[in-house]
Each structure stands twice: as C-alpha cells, then as structure tokens.
C-alpha cells in the first residue's frame, strides 16, 4: 500500500447573487465557480488500524474538527471500510479567503481516499457526503466549472474562457457566518439564467458588506481596480482580476505591496485534481 499525493485547487466565485433566505436559515444563491491551477496538496498513506491521523496542525483548528478529518471519517462510515489513513497537508491557500481552501481539502480527501481505499462510491455519492460538510464541497468533488443554485448544491456544468487571474489575499480572515447574518446584506437579487450570465453580467452581493467591515479588502479592491476590474470571491477576503496572459498578471503582481500578498494562476474548467486523476488512470491503462 503506497502513498497518494493529490492537489486541492482553489476556486473563484466569478459572481455571487443572493436571492433570498430560506425558512431553515440558509440562503438561496446563484454563483459561478471556476477553478485555479493553484492550491493545497494532500498526501494520503493508508493505515490498517482504521485510525485517521492528520499530521499537519492548523492554527485555531482542532484535529477532530478539521474538515479533512471529518471527510475521512464520513467516508469510512459511508463505505464501511476498516482502513484508515495518515494525512499530510501542504497548506498554500489562506484560511477565510473565499477561495475554497477547507472545502477543497475536504473534497480531495473524499476523492483521494475513495481511490486509495478502493471504496468505489462514485462521484455523486461523494458529492452527497461532501454537501454535509459544506456547500462548496460538491463542486470540488465533481471537478468541473459550474453554475450553482440552491445553497450551492444544484450544479450545472459550464464552459468558460480560461484567463489568467491575479488573486490578492488581504491579511484578514472573513467569517462567512458573520457576513450572511449582516442585516445590510442584499437578499433579494432577481434570479438570472446561465445564458444571460455568460453573456456578461453578475456581481458579488457580499462585497459591499465585506468592504464596509474590512478595510483591508476595500483597499485591495481599490488597488487592483487601477489595473483591471476587480471583484471579491465568495465572502472574501480574496479579490481577483483577470488578464489576457500570464505576463500581464505577473507584471501587476510584482507591484503589490508586502502587506497584500498575491499569486497568479490560470482559470480552469476542469480542476487540477481531476486532471491528475485522469493522468493516473491513463498511466495505469497504458
């Protein structure tokens, strides 16, 4: 039994509309997901004793509360496997950044351990398990750019252009629960169709609330807007702008001040997790 190393890619919400609040307290959303060729990396080594051990500590996150550990244990329960895993995490994505770090880690854990343990639950079942961990987990499990509705669980594949993005990560962690409970949050945006969205439209309804609460995010948007139209992803804190090529994005990235770290990555319709799995399958069948 050997180790398996897989990426956990970042995502961007290219738009995020909030249509209303449901009786259960969750919000009805419309959002457009695209992946980035940049992310965390996880290494899984199977154990025969059923124990789940994450060997990378995250500040302020208890081992058993980590989404990676919870995902692994949910997969154990759903599949009935007697196997466990040692897990190493190489963390590149900021926590509380709105680019899917925790959700992507959980999805890669589900997909990776399903592969390693040979539980063969299939993507749809894994996505269902993922939804119980977080609304963004299913899109990472399925691995294709998508228009999402409901709380983010109803996904429709889309084909988007794949520009280069500059992502700025303000040094602040934004609480999603705090933003969604803010009384000033827009909750009545009319629903739109995929066709009208792809023709050019959409905004992030959370952005005005976050800008008001977090000057670091407001300053990052102001800076990036000097070069290209800038927008916040998810509930923040990361902001992004698109560029026609890597050179243009790198040029602006080099001008960022030290207190506004950023990275350049290409937008992708198929996540690098799924491209890695496809490559592994080709090598096995070769």
Catalytic residues: 11, 136
Q: Is the dihedral of CA 77, 126, 91, 95 positive or negative?
A: negative
Distance between CA atoms of 19 and 149, rounded to whole angstroms?
A: 10
Distance between CA atoms of 218 and 107, rounded to whole angstroms?
A: 30
Distance between CA atoms of 45 and 3, rounded to whole angstroms?
A: 4
**CB-side neighbour CA atoms (13 Å) of 183:** 0
CA-derived radius of gyration, the chain: 19
DSSP track, 69-89: HHHHHHHHHHH----EEEEEE
On whether the CB atoms of residues 19 and 189 are closer than 8 A, the answer is yes
On whether the CB atoms of residues 145 and 158 are closer than 8 A, the answer is yes
Q: What length is written for the chain?
A: 286
On whether the CB atoms of residues 173 and 101 are closer than 8 A, the answer is no
């Amino acid at each position: 039994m050997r180790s398996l190393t897989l990426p956990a890619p970042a995502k961007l919400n290219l738009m995020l509309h909030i249509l209303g609040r449901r009786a259960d307290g969750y919000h009805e959303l419309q959002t457009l997901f695209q992946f980035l060729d940049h992310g965390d990396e996880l290494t899984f080594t199977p154990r025969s004793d059923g124990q789940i051990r994450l060997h990378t500590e995250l500040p302020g996150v208890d081992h058993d509360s980590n989404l990676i550990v919870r995902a692994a244990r949910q997969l154990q329960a759903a599949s009935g496997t007697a196997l466990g895993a040692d897990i190493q995490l190489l963390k590149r994505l900021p926590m509380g950044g709105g680019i899917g770090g925790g959700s992507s880690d959980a999805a890669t854990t589900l997909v990776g351990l399903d592969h390693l343990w040979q539980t063969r639950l299939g993507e749809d079942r894994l996505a269902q398990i993922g939804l119980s961990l977080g609304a963004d987990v299913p899109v990472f499990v399925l691995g294709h750019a998508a228009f999402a509705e409901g709380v983010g669980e109803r996904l429709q594949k889309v084909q988007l252009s794949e520009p280069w993005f500059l992502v700025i990560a303000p040094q602040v962690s934004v609480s999603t629960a705090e933003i969604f409970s803010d009384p000033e949050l827009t909750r009545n945006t009319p629903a739109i169709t995929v066709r009208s969205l792809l023709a050019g439209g959409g905004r992030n309804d959370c952005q005005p609330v976050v800008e008001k609460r977090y000057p670091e995010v407001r300053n990052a948007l102001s800076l990036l807007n000097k070069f290209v139209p800038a927008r916040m992803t998810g509930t923040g804190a990361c902001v992004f702008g698109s560029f026609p090529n890597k050179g243009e994005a790198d040029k602006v990235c080099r001008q960022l001040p030290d207190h506004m770290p950023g990275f350049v990555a290409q937008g992708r319709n198929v996540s690098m997790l799924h491209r890695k799995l496809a490559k592994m399958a080709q090598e096995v069948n070769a």
